[in-house]
Every structure is written in C-alpha cells, then in structure tokens.
Amino acid sequence: MPQEQGNNRRENGTYRPGHSGNPGGRPKGRKSLYTRVRARLDRSLPDGRTIADLVAEVIVREALKGNWRALKEIFDREDGAIPRQAKDPNQLSIAELLELAGDDIEDRGSDDR
C-alpha cells in the first residue's frame, strides 16, 4: 500500500481541495522552465527580430547544409513527429503499409511511374 498521506486524501483516494501528494512541490509564483525559456525566446533585438527568429534561422541554415538533426527538427515541427510503431515493420500487411504511407502514395499520381 502507498505511504500514508495523512489527511490529504478522501476515502475514494482523491486529494482534498487545496491539498496534493507533493506538498513540498514548486512554490506558488515560481515560473516553470518552459515559461522562463519562452520569455527569453520572445525578447526583441534592436533589429526587430526575436531570439526565436534567430534560432529558427540557425536551424534552417543547418538543415540546408545537410545537418540531418536540424532537418528532422523542421519536419517534426511542421508535420508532427512520426509516431513510433509498436509493431515490427517487417510484419505489416500491405494494407497496413498503404495506410501508413497515406498521402505519400496518393500524391505520386501516374506521372512517377
């Protein structure tokens, strides 16, 4: 059985309003790492660009140089990361392969044959 949480929980196991399982957690008012990073990325530079603009330029420049990680980052942000498959790709049926290929197969048309 989990460690006793004192009087923080109701009989059904949920926490009482105003209580949590981590009473020593992040203090109220303290900003998360995401919030602090986002604030720095949004800072404006004298030329009107933001730091986020500069980061994007570097990523694109690196992708154009052939940096695979930079290119993958662009694709993941633009199209969404490719979901990991739980199934062994060598064990997929033709129908499953076509479904995974989706629009890529349809976009080819008859000109590519």
CB 59 within 8 A of CB 67: no
Average pLDDT, the chain: 79
At residue 16, the pLDDT reads 79
Band of pLDDT at residue 105, cut at 50, 70 and 90: low
User: Does 83 have pLDDT greater than 60?
Assistant: yes
Rg (CA), the chain: 24
State the average pLDDT over residues 50-71: 95
For residue 60, what are its two tokens? 């694109």
Helix locations, the chain, DSSP H: 33-41, 51-64, 68-79, 94-101, 103-108
